[in-house]
A and B are shown apart, each in its own frame.
With several copies, the nearest count.
Chain A
Amino acid sequence: MSNLEDLYREIILDHYRSPRNRGELPSPPAHKVEGFNPLCGDEVTLYLDVHDGVLSDIKLTGHGCSISQSSSSLMSAAVKGKPLNDVNATIETFKQLMTGHESALTTEEEADEEVDLRTLGELAALQGVVKFPVRIKCATLAWNALRQGLDEIANQN
């Protein structure tokens, strides 16, 4: 049962049961962006406040499995109040953590790139997801929405 415990680490169950930064922000001024996984119906809505190059506030609503919900909660905790550069770096690092497997689908031979887990903090708890390929989409749902939201904000300016 070790794989399963690796997936459902205590920290993940904790974020699932008590999600952080849950709620809405008035929009506008906050930027609202939605993520949706058609295969399983998981949904997440993000509200992003960006001021002076800083993601000053983030709130989210949505429903879905423990992985998608805890990942969005963990994400919000990791990026809230951070400069956009750091946020972008975190998104990239997280995606790299998750794509070890996805790219294996494309070219079997390609070696997994190593991700420096120390930079991830609590997010590293999601590492176990990589062993469950179908759940990667759950874990990345909120992150893709965040990426999209930040891009939309950048394009507005």
Chain B
Amino acid sequence: MSSFNVRRIRADIPLLQREINGRKITYLDSGASSLQPHAVIDAMSRYYELRHANVHRGVYQTANEATEAYEGSRAAVALFLNAPGGADEVVFTKNTTESLNLIAKTWGADHLAQGDVVLVSEMEHHANIVPWFQLREATGVEVRFIPVGDDYRLDLTKLDELLDGVKLLSVTAMSNVLGTKNPIAELAEAAHRVGALIAVDGAQSIVHGVTDVQELDIDFLAFSGHKMLGPTGIGVLWTRESVLDTMGPFMGGGGMIADVRVDGFTPAKGVARFEAGTPPIAESVGLRAAVRYLTGLGMENVADHDHELTVDALTRLESSFDGRVRVIGPSDTKDRGGVISLDVEGVHPHDVAQVLDQFGVCVRPGHHCAKPLMKRFGLAATARASFGPYSTTRDTDVLLEALTSAVSMFG
């Protein structure tokens, strides 16, 4: 872990210097959104200060610089994912949600029809469920769910049956509620065996370990800038070039056309086809800075660090509170990331989070946009603590201290 030094990372993140209610902030909500290092924030400020212009259509110097910045970000993301087709496979969107909708509303609408099956899982975020329900309304496709077992992992015992008639398997690489990491390479192989494509929701996994789309052999990958130390307002849809070429346009407008006449239009080729209007230019600069920052840390190191924190936290949570605090997620820490959902006996997650706030501890209560999963486990909500690359066992110390207070307050 030569280049990975948590103290140095923490010094890079301005928000970690903040005090909340008289205590240094303990940020444990990276699953909802990560914090940004100076490098990311400053890259965007510098962009606005020095080279902002609209992209693609200018010939003057700052327009060139802005275009190079934007296209350079595309290339940097492609490199980060080891995209076989390079930058030509990286579409910038607004967030993971738009990326997944883009798949459903272009590829899905073009290639799927009544009777075809989209297979998702019971642990999906709404962003990977609702677009398929909308597609079902529009085209009559079937949306089928891979069940989640009592061990909080995908129950793949009947995968062959589940795959019957499936044209697309769309599944999260890591649950934002359970921390479960799913066997994506194995699922990709199974999907391809029946001639289906596989889309992966990488919103959580992207900042918890290495993502190599060639090694995973997947077809689509969706994720957001703001969960990987980058800015809000930008997301990515990576798509294998051979698939991308079969997808019709998405939004209509400037930049996505080859020609517009009063009687019709011709869409542009390549990723431009999916990027109508002025794109998130400054945000792409911020995302590139985040990618550079993460690459500097080394994603293997980030994953190791996350694993250590998770093992430590799970062990300590289990040995405290006399069973009053239950972890909703795998206890086996293999293929498990640092997202820890808690069910505190007799204390509603909102109240847990409220008490924790008093200690400067930021955790998120709620259904985490995964209502089908919540229902599966008979819960309305959990209080979720989630780690980022800048988290430490000291954060877990404060979490435990604050939880003790919550338990006793409502005891």
A residues apposed to B, CB below 8 Å? 1, 3-4, 7-8, 13, 16, 36, 38-42, 63-67, 69, 105-108, 132-135, 138
Answer whether residue B87 sits at the interface, using C-beta atoms and an 8 A cutoff.
yes
Enumerate 20 A-B pairs (CB-CB under 8 Å) in ascending A order.
Answer: A4-B354, A8-B351, A38-B258, A39-B56, A40-B366, A41-B380, A42-B350, A42-B380, A63-B380, A64-B350, A65-B348, A66-B348, A67-B351, A105-B68, A105-B71, A105-B72, A105-B87, A108-B72, A132-B64, A134-B63
Bitwise, B33-76 to A at CB < 8 A (1) or not (0) is 00000000000000000000000111100011001100110010
| Other contacts beyond A8-B351, A132-B64: 20, CB < 8 A | A4-B354, A8-B354, A8-B409, A13-B410, A38-B258, A39-B57, A39-B366, A40-B57, A40-B366, A41-B371, A41-B380, A65-B348, A65-B351, A66-B410, A69-B348, A107-B75, A107-B79, A108-B72, A133-B67, A134-B63
Chain A residues within 8 Å of B257, by CB: 38
A-B pairs with beta carbons under 8 A, tally? 77
> A36: nearest residue on chain B (CB-CB)?
B258
Cross-chain contact of B350 among A36, A105, A106, A138 (Cβ < 8 A): A138
Q: Which 4 A-B pairs have the closest CB atoms?
A: A65-B350, A65-B348, A38-B258, A41-B380
Answer whether residue B237 sits at the interface, using C-beta atoms and an 8 A cutoff.
no
Chain A residues within 8 Å of B63, by CB: 134
Cross-chain contact of A64 among B258, B348, B371, B409 (Cβ < 8 A): B348
Given A65-B348, A138-B350; A41-B59 close (CB under 8 Å): no
Given A38-B268, A39-B57, A105-B68; A135-B380 close (CB under 8 Å): no
CB neighbors of A among B71-103 (8 A): 71-72, 75, 79, 86-87
**Beta-carbon contact of B350 and A133 below 8 Å:** no
> A7: nearest residue on chain B (CB-CB)?
B354
Answer whether residue B317 sits at the interface, using C-beta atoms and an 8 A cutoff.
no
Complex-state Cα separation, A63 to B258, whole angstroms: 17
Shortest beta-carbon distance, A139 to chain B, in Å? Answer: 11
Cross-chain contact of B381 among A13, A40, A106, A108 (Cβ < 8 A): A40
Chain A residues within 8 Å of B56, by CB: 39
Shortest beta-carbon distance, A3 to chain B, in Å? Answer: 7
**Beta-carbon contact of A41 and B71 below 8 Å:** no
Complex-state Cα separation, A144 to B75, whole angstroms: 23
**Beta-carbon contact of A134 and B67 below 8 Å:** yes
Chain B residues within 8 Å of A1, by CB: 358
Given A1-B358, A134-B58; A41-B64 close (CB under 8 Å): no
**Beta-carbon contact of B358 and A38 below 8 Å:** no
Interface size on B, residues (CB 8 A): 35
Complex-state Cα separation, A125 to B52, whole angstroms: 31
**Beta-carbon contact of B380 and A134 below 8 Å:** no
Which among B358, B365, B374 has the greatest number of chain A C-beta atoms within 10 A?
A: B358
Chain B residues within 8 Å of A40, by CB: 57, 350, 365-367, 381
CB neighbors of A among B374-391 (8 A): 374, 380-381
Chain A residues within 8 Å of B268, by CB: 38
Complex-state Cα separation, A66 to B67, whole angstroms: 22
Chain A residues within 8 Å of B354, by CB: 4, 7-8, 132, 135
> A63: nearest residue on chain B (CB-CB)?
B380
Complex-state Cα separation, A13 to B259, whole angstroms: 29
Complex-state Cα separation, A107 to B68, whole angstroms: 12
Which among A16, A38, A67, A107 has the greatest number of chain B C-beta atoms within 10 A?
A: A38
Answer whether residue B400 sits at the interface, using C-beta atoms and an 8 A cutoff.
no
Bitwise, B343-361 to A at CB < 8 A (1) or not (0) is 0000011110011001000
CB neighbors of A among B245-287 (8 A): 257-259, 268
Shortest beta-carbon distance, A61 to chain B, in Å? Answer: 14
Chain B residues within 8 Å of A13, by CB: 409-410
Complex-state Cα separation, A63 to B349, whole angstroms: 12
Complex-state Cα separation, A13 to B351, whole angstroms: 11
Which among B64, B268, B380 has the greatest number of chain A C-beta atoms within 10 A?
A: B380
> B357: nearest residue on chain A (CB-CB)?
A4
Shortest beta-carbon distance, B220 to chain A, in Å? Answer: 22
Complex-state Cα separation, A11 to B365, whole angstroms: 24
Cross-chain contact of B64 among A66, A67, A69, A134 (Cβ < 8 A): A134
Chain B residues within 8 Å of A133, by CB: 64, 67-68
Shortest beta-carbon distance, B308 to chain A, in Å? Answer: 32
Cross-chain contact of B367 among A4, A16, A41, A64 (Cβ < 8 A): A41
Complex-state Cα separation, A16 to B351, whole angstroms: 11
Cross-chain contact of B59 among A42, A64, A107, A134 (Cβ < 8 A): A134
**Beta-carbon contact of B348 and A38 below 8 Å:** no
Complex-state Cα separation, A91 to B115, whole angstroms: 49
> B267: nearest residue on chain A (CB-CB)?
A38
> B57: nearest residue on chain A (CB-CB)?
A39
CB neighbors of A among B16-33 (8 A): 21
Chain A residues within 8 Å of B367, by CB: 40-41
